[in-house]
Amino acid sequence: MARRILLVLLIVVNVVLLFRLIWTEQGILAYLAMRSRSEKLQSQLVDVDARSLELSKDIRRLQSDRNYQESIIRERMNYVKGNEVLYIFSGKVDAPEGAEGDEKKD
């Protein structure tokens, strides 16, 4: 009789330990989720480091390279030199009056 009670007790303990090993906050499933999140964060960190390096290079060039400064200003702020003409297109084409869909209804 004592052996059966001990056997049942050991089975219950094993089931509880198995449950905790797999489905609790410290279990395998939580570990796999944290590992996946860690890999994503590592890849984001690499991307941010690369972007930071690019921005640092741009800052150094803006501080020291006069031609680069001029090209950036002309590109982003639409500045022109004295003998240049700049045409800015909105990218949106308006249909002329009287075109299809612009008919008057009586």
- What is the per-residue DSSP string for 27-78? SHHHHHHHHHHHHHHHHHHHHHHHHHHHHHHHHHHHHH-HHHHHHHHHHHH-
Assign 32 to helix, strand or coil: helix
Rounded to the nearest angstrom, the gap between the alpha carbon of residue 68 and the centroid of all alpha carbons in its chain is 29
Domain of residue 49 covers: 2-75
The predicted-structure confidence for 18-67, as pLDDT tens digits, reads as follows 998 888 888 899 999 999 999 999 999 999 999 999 999 999 999 999 99
Q: How many domains does the chain have?
A: 1
Is the pLDDT at 102 greater than 60? The verdict is no
Q: Quick check: is 81 in a domain?
A: no
Residue 47's pLDDT is: 97
Residue 31 lies in a domain: yes
Asked if pLDDT for residue 106 goes beyond 70, the answer is no
Q: Is 99 a member of any domain? A: no
User: Would you say the pTM of this structure is higher than 0.85?
Assistant: no
Bigger pLDDT: 97 vs 12: 12
Give the integer Cα–Cα distance in Å for 74 and 85.
Answer: 12
Q: Which residue has the higher pLDDT, 7 or 100?
A: 7
